[in-house]
Chains A and B, each alone.
Chain A
């Protein structure tokens, strides 16, 4: 056994817990999870059945933590995990799984399959079996501070642009602000309108907010690659920044997995409860709307639909807010089939969009989104995750569908009266 494999197995031994044991003991091989997975439904290849993607984890569980499995291992009658096998499984654990969690909500015996994929990735990454693309992203996030290599000067330049365009100052490192706003590098580079939108919204709501010079990047490639140690390094920056600035709430940007990393995994990664709250920008907007702090004028008249980011909706519990926000600004808001809780992933979540060799499969899986869109034929597609947005744009372009993709926050901000607040 190579040192890396040994480390991988040891990490798996660390993370295997009672839920995993219960899940593997409950699986009856009914295959229903396949029907929930877009990589199966769009390819018809049974190897993409979610529970099958966990075979290495199941074997380690059985061999290490069951009496019969231990005996079988001792007698050398069970097949040990090999490095080659883990390498083979890379495609199943990363390329063809976006951690969308649809399988976890359909499993009739209640297996939380995505919970297990997340744990298996711990072993995969520790044994060196993570895909190059996500490794690169993790590398840049840890060393440079952002998966796309964005550094503070770039953010400052962006802030300056926005201040000029919108005429609103962008606060940086303001101690005691109510909100600390996080960004994803995708937004810094591709969607600068997000920052402007925040400025407008906060001004109207009359809330104090700030960016943080030591923690502007919300995305967490450590979590995507499935390594808690690296994820902790990344999330700790945000925790330190938020605590240094003594903010009440950290706002996770329009990014799905950043929300999961910060909102649900963060405290567990750093090993203590947070002293601040974490909210997705859509949650904050929902609150503002409810409290009457968000007032818009005018309506979009073309046909709009909303793509629910998995980590926000099904994995995050934010489902209603985006809908009432949409209704606030759209006359012709239509829902795609399966929208909301059961929405289909864009195909690029969970780090999958960073995997170059997975692109073909990703585009194949995009047929599901294509079918959903064809069912309602929207003029524009709204979402609340920069990664979804990029992946959707790629897919739409590939299938030559002329549907612009926009962010919900910026769309809302466009309807805020200029001289509001």
Chain B
């Protein structure tokens, strides 16, 4: 934001010490991650280099800033950070220098100047309880701000599990009435980039795709880019062979854990979690949760917080059984009741027995 807005991207990058070669490589990587043909890397590089930087407005709602942390502090030198050079990030509370009225003015100016063209990034869920009063910025509820900002947006990126699905604020009992962006906005293209936080390259990949092709990447039915959310953690997990062989760590400090066996029994949600962690990894490819020895929490799935406990195997009951003991009792009572009734009936039949005579053999 300190840079000259009109300067060409490549010049800016060079100014930052990122060579053209590095940039091309980055574009090729992005293209391959998004399962685009090899030629798309070059196209992407050219498009990005030429792109007039589109205005991006980033609104934070009920969030923890983890998503912002993820993208800004991913690793250094910040190759993902380059994306900020490709866009004109006109409003981002955490990153912008402006505050108070100045910030509000910047927001409204950006919205007016780029009406119908800007990309709206939302992180955090939208509080709807008490008409949205749980979360306000500049005296206005997130709900109002979202509706207003969405009107002029070309596309919306719901960043992080909160914006995408309601996330932790929506966890039971959801006191603020938190909902996802897509629950409020129905008439704009929305791409969900879930994760708590999401993988940085997924965010930049989606932006790069938008900048290059002017459209959102192909989405699955939960609104996620298929390229990154097409497979489960489990399917791409390097520990998968242990699952197939039936080798499981039973505790976090047993022999199996030391040998790097599958963490399914320790509650890993990899089998039901669609994300790219296992292939892209985190912190510049350094590691990722399962590699670090902890099961996947399933943070990029809707309602992961209420999905039955992080340390319970998926095949285990999500909640403690509440009714079974009562049901056993009810079953026994029903059994005894019918026994009494049956005995009475059989007794009555016996009591009514009339010794059969030969005459009785006829009707």
Contact B345 A65 (CB under 8 A): yes
Measured between beta carbons, the chain B residues less than 8 angstroms from A201 are: none
- CB < 8 Å A-B pair total: 57
Tell me the smallest distance from the CB of B344 to a CB of chain A, in Å.
11
Contact B363 A128 (CB under 8 A): yes
Measured between beta carbons, the chain B residues less than 8 angstroms from A2 are: 363
Cβ-closest chain B residue relative to A65 = B342
Once the chains are docked, how many angstroms separate the CA of A331 from the CA of B358? 49
Other-chain residue from B346, B360, B361 in contact with A13 (beta carbon distance below 8 A): B346
Q: How many residues of B are counted as interface, with CB atoms below 8 angstroms from the partner's CB atoms?
A: 19
Interface residue? B349 (CB, 8 A): yes
Q: Evaluate whether A143 and B358 lie within 8 angstroms (CB atoms) in the complex, with A4-B363, A65-B345 already known.
A: yes
Other-chain residue from A16, A65, A67, A230 in contact with B356 (beta carbon distance below 8 A): A230
Interface residue? A103 (CB, 8 A): no
The stretch of A134-142, A187-195, A269-277, A348-356 in contact with B is: A134-142
Contact A125 B358 (CB under 8 A): no
Interface residue? B362 (CB, 8 A): yes
Interface residue? A83 (CB, 8 A): yes
Interface residue? B172 (CB, 8 A): no
Give the residues from 149 to 193 in chain B that come closer than 8 angstroms, CB to CB, to chain A.
Answer: none
Other-chain residue from B338, B345, B350, B361 in contact with A227 (beta carbon distance below 8 A): B361
Interface residue? B352 (CB, 8 A): yes
Give the residues from 321 to 363 in chain B that come closer than 8 angstroms, CB to CB, to chain A.
Answer: 334, 338, 341-342, 345-346, 349-350, 352-358, 360-363
Give the residues from 268 to 314 in chain B that come closer than 8 angstroms, CB to CB, to chain A.
Answer: none
Contact A128 B334 (CB under 8 A): no
Other-chain residue from A7, A64, A83, A139 in contact with B345 (beta carbon distance below 8 A): A64
Interface residue? A225 (CB, 8 A): yes
Contact A130 B361 (CB under 8 A): yes
Other-chain residue from A65, A67, A126, A142 in contact with B358 (beta carbon distance below 8 A): A142
Q: Evaluate whether A227 and B356 lie within 8 angstroms (CB atoms) in the complex, with A13-B349, A14-B349, A67-B334 already known.
A: yes
Measured between beta carbons, the chain A residues less than 8 angstroms from B345 are: 13, 64-65
Measured between beta carbons, the chain A residues less than 8 angstroms from B334 are: 67
Tell me the smallest distance from the CB of B328 to a CB of chain A, in Å.
17
Max chain A C-beta neighbours (<10 A), residue from B349, B353, B355, B360: B360
Contact B338 A67 (CB under 8 A): yes
Measured between beta carbons, the chain B residues less than 8 angstroms from A11 are: 349, 353
Render A116-155 as a binary contact track against B, CB cut-off 8 A, 1 for contact: 0000000001111110000100110011000000000000
Q: Evaluate whether A14 and B350 lie within 8 angstroms (CB atoms) in the complex, with A64-B345, A128-B362, A227-B361 already known.
A: yes
Once the chains are docked, how many angstroms separate the CA of A225 from the CA of B354? 17
Render A81-106 as a binary contact track against B, CB cut-off 8 A, 1 for contact: 00100000000000000000000000
Once the chains are docked, how many angstroms separate the CA of A10 from the CA of B346? 9
Contact B354 A7 (CB under 8 A): yes
Render A1-41 as a binary contact track against B, CB cut-off 8 A, 1 for contact: 01010010011011010000000000000000000000000
Once the chains are docked, how many angstroms separate the CA of A20 from the CA of B354? 23
Interface residue? A229 (CB, 8 A): yes
Other-chain residue from B341, B342, B346, B361 in contact with A125 (beta carbon distance below 8 A): B361
Measured between beta carbons, the chain A residues less than 8 angstroms from B349 are: 10-11, 13-14
Cβ-closest chain B residue relative to A16 = B346
Q: Evaluate whether A229 and B356 lie within 8 angstroms (CB atoms) in the complex, with A14-B350, A135-B361 already known.
A: yes
Render A34-64 as a binary contact track against B, CB cut-off 8 A, 1 for contact: 0000000000000000000000000000001
Once the chains are docked, how many angstroms separate the CA of A232 from the CA of B363? 21
Max chain A C-beta neighbours (<10 A), residue from B342, B345, B360, B361: B361
Once the chains are docked, how many angstroms separate the CA of A138 from the CA of B345? 30
Measured between beta carbons, the chain B residues less than 8 angstroms from A125 are: 356, 361
Once the chains are docked, how many angstroms separate the CA of A13 from the CA of B353? 11
Measured between beta carbons, the chain B residues less than 8 angstroms from A10 are: 349, 352-353
Cβ-closest chain B residue relative to A143 = B358
Once the chains are docked, how many angstroms separate the CA of A128 from the CA of B358? 10
Measured between beta carbons, the chain B residues less than 8 angstroms from A70 are: 338, 341
Contact A229 B363 (CB under 8 A): no
Contact B352 A229 (CB under 8 A): no
Measured between beta carbons, the chain A residues less than 8 angstroms from B338 are: 65-67, 70
Tell me the smallest distance from the CB of B354 to a CB of chain A, in Å.
7
Cβ-closest chain B residue relative to A128 = B363
Measured between beta carbons, the chain A residues less than 8 angstroms from B358 are: 138-139, 142-143, 230
Max chain B C-beta neighbours (<10 A), residue from A13, A128, A130, A225: A13
Measured between beta carbons, the chain A residues less than 8 angstroms from B357 are: 229
Other-chain residue from A14, A67, A143 in contact with B353 (beta carbon distance below 8 A): A14
Cβ-closest chain A residue relative to B342 = A65
Once the chains are docked, how many angstroms separate the CA of A13 from the CA of B342? 10
Contact B361 A7 (CB under 8 A): no
What are 19 A-B contacts with C-beta separation under 8 Å? A4-B363, A7-B360, A10-B353, A64-B345, A65-B346, A66-B338, A67-B338, A125-B356, A126-B356, A128-B360, A128-B363, A130-B361, A138-B358, A138-B361, A139-B358, A143-B358, A225-B361, A227-B356, A230-B358
Given contacts A11-B349, A65-B342, could you give 10 more A-B pairs where the C-beta distance is less than 8 Å?
A4-B360, A4-B363, A14-B346, A64-B345, A65-B345, A67-B334, A127-B363, A130-B361, A135-B361, A138-B358
Q: What 8 A-B pairs are tightest by C-beta distance, nearest first?
A: A128-B363, A13-B349, A229-B356, A4-B363, A14-B349, A67-B338, A229-B355, A10-B349
